[in-house]
Amino acid sequence: MLRAGERTRYEEKRDALLAAAHSRKTLMGILNVTPDSFSDGGRFNSPDRAVEQAKSLIADGADIVDVGAESTRPGHTPITAEEEWARLAPLLEPLLEAVDAPLSIDTYKAATARRATELGVVVVNDIWGLQHDPAMADTVAEAGAALVIMHNRTETDPAIDIRADLRRFFDHSLTVAQRAGIPSERIILDPGIGFGKTKQQNLAALAATTELLDYRLPILIGISRKSIFGALLGATVDGRLIGTIAANVVTAMYGASIFRVHDPAEHRAAFTVLDAIVSA
């Protein structure tokens, strides 16, 4: 558990990140410590390489580093909480010691979230938005962590109105969060691009960013290098940066404020240009 001084620093990191998300474009650098992620599986699953990559992401402009130990790409093989923690345990403490930027944990398992937040991770990034593990909401509340609620579906249904489904999902998740005592000012919403959606629904979910601003919560877009760019552009994973930047710039103009990316330097440059044009 965090001691008194560590708890104060934890709260400072959390609150500074949330304040940034309400005032400027914030970059969440992706650090996958998995053997099978679609983009960078197996590259950063040793302590030295994980720390090196985290430092590189921060040097390139990332405000926070999102650490994930289970691939959630389409067709992924789920792992247990014990397997997930076995991948994270050797890495999280070195990461927390080596970098001053806040860390988030990309997990939908309460046991993993509890262990990570006890070490000092300030954000829980839940791809099931509190709707998978019944213990997750209480875990986040007890830790005092910030929370990313991501929209998800167990299966794709081309017939549904994805905008209405986003509303239903977020309304339910926010009710769960409120009952657990998670303050709304610590919550971030993510439309879940690439999760349980057709290509057209993914595009509609991105376009719905302006509507989601009604919640008065920061909107996170996680579309970096995803397969939608393969469908739209015929691009391989390594060729999807231009599509990623285009989508993130558009959603930034729609009001999104947090962007989960593999390439923070390129995004920081793109947003600098965008801000210069808008301010002119």
Q: Name the residue with tokens 């994805």.
A: 162
The pLDDT value recorded for residue 199 is: 95
Q: What CATH number does residue 126 fall under?
A: 3.20.20.20
pLDDT digits (tens, 9 = 90+) for 224-269: 999 899 889 998 888 999 999 999 999 999 999 999 999 999 999 9
pLDDT digits (tens, 9 = 90+) for 111-137: 999 999 999 999 999 999 999 999 999
Q: Which residues of 64-87 are buried (b: 16+ CB within 10 A; e: fewer)?
A: bbbbbbbbbeeeeeebebeebbeb
> Which residues carry out catalysis?
226, 260
Regions of the chain short of the pLDDT cut 70: 36-43, 73-76
- Domains in the chain, number: 1
